[in-house]
Structure 1
């Protein structure tokens, strides 16, 4: 894979850790940004706060052809006092850096923007998020698209499905873990993607000469959450699903399949689990495993 000159914002986060592991050896083609540089981290770094130092952001973006913005506030961070509105502010910072440098911008969004709806979820569907995180990401996409048009910056929002090992199921498992069981039996289904496949898909997206305004990132089909835990050998306890549980989220990966084989290879719970287990050391940076 031939990488363009790339700036990755939010490189100390969980997806950033995966990419730093999988994309090692790219040299100065990839500039990693963080508010700090992790101990022992290789590669080339720009250390600054994108919300407080726009000049540093513009400087880091100089000479870069693509800006991949992974920085954002997750459910976990919001529960600890983080502000979902920072997702919008970080997107704006990425776009202004793109305007200053002429770089294309890729924003990490989420399948949560689709909400609870049946069928295959294509990128052209109207958005209907049902939780605060999804609503924030939907606002980020809308505001980002408007600002990108004003600034003349090519923009693609990446709607990423559940990531095996970074999710609340496999990645959030603890002793005594409880999992929703639907009224008809079985556990909720989600579009998933494994860690290595995520890195491969994003590498293809970064290198693509042209991209749509919105792109789903996942493996085709769905994975039952219980099957994922079973593949890992993790015990779990069934509990009745609440009335508002989303039973199925399945992303249409047709657009991704035109860019990467990842978009055409069916989701495989056992393979995703094995990949996560192989990659655990790079994910354990600054955290403990139960």
Structure 2
């Protein structure tokens, strides 16, 4: 299967590339610059997106590109990719986020509509609306915090805090369902082989706070969990953020053979960098 990964230089995108290649797919990728070794692409540029996808002619497109602080990349870019996928007949899997929800104590099902309360969530919700309207056969994967090795922003931040090389704190009252990038990538590629369409939750079965995730990460890497500064969202002064977002991934676990492991079972020590 000819596969195009949009955002191939990112943590999730690179894992999708690795697993798809290992499975025998002919894989192409995009990134924001050519320095990554992938085709440079600004997904905010509709004509550039269309031209690249027209030249590659992929059978499957996985859109894993995002910038949490930029509406044009998250929303407009997703629409541009969907338009090109529809024009070329490619199967599209769009990676969305639990940030589309406002937060509540009970888990969110797959089919619940977005209720965003901050800018990133609104951008991802807009992206879902555009992708669904343009490519009704697309799969929209709502996921949670993506963890793994040091390429993961969650992992890198926790380790930096534990080592004292970075300032900041992890929230004790912001609850998510973290999932390892390897498990998420495998689920995405397995979904591509099904006839599923629409939104599906693909997140970990273990809900925990960002603070607890950071402490677990630190301990796994032989660092002192207590060295990580913590606070509440209110204490951080960051304003309105969703607190408790738990995704019910029952549909995914029923449909797929890919295990969605609890993060306490899947978190591993990052490999040492190669010697110079």
Q: TM-score, normalised by structure 2?
A: 0.79
Q: Could you tell me whether the CA contact under 8 Å between 1:204 and 1:259 is conserved in 2? A: no
Distance 1:53 1:200 in 2: 29
1:234-259 deviation line (CA, Å, top 9, x unaligned):
42123344185644221111121133
Offset at residue 117 of structure 1 (A):
2.1
- What is aligned with 1:110? 97
1:5-56 deviation line (CA, Å, top 9, x unaligned):
21111212232223334444455522222344445x5xxx544444251442
Q: Secondary structure at the match of 1:196?
A: helix
Shift in alpha-carbon separation, 1:105–1:49, aligned structure 2, 3 A: same
Q: Could you tell me whether the CA contact under 8 Å between 1:57 and 1:93 is conserved in 2? A: no
Offset at residue 213 of structure 1 (A):
0.5
Distance 1:85 1:54 in 2: 14
1:105-135 deviation line (CA, Å, top 9, x unaligned):
1111111001222211111112111110000
Shift in alpha-carbon separation, 1:281–1:144, aligned structure 2, 3 A: farther
Aligned residue pairs, count: 253
Shift in alpha-carbon separation, 1:129–1:5, aligned structure 2, 3 A: same
Q: TM-score, normalised by structure 1?
A: 0.75
Do structure 1's residue 196 and structure 2's residue 182 form an aligned pair? yes
Distance 1:20 1:213 in 2: 23
Root-mean-square deviation (Å): 2.8
Q: Could you tell me whether the CA contact under 8 Å between 1:7 and 1:66 is conserved in 2? A: yes
Do structure 1's residue 260 and structure 2's residue 256 form an aligned pair? yes
For residues 150-169 of structure 1, the aligned pairs below 5 Å read 154-165=137-148, 169=154
Show structure 1 runs of 5+ residues with no match.
183-187, 283-290
Residues 46-55 or 194-203, more deviating: 46-55
Distance 2:154 2:229 in 1: 12
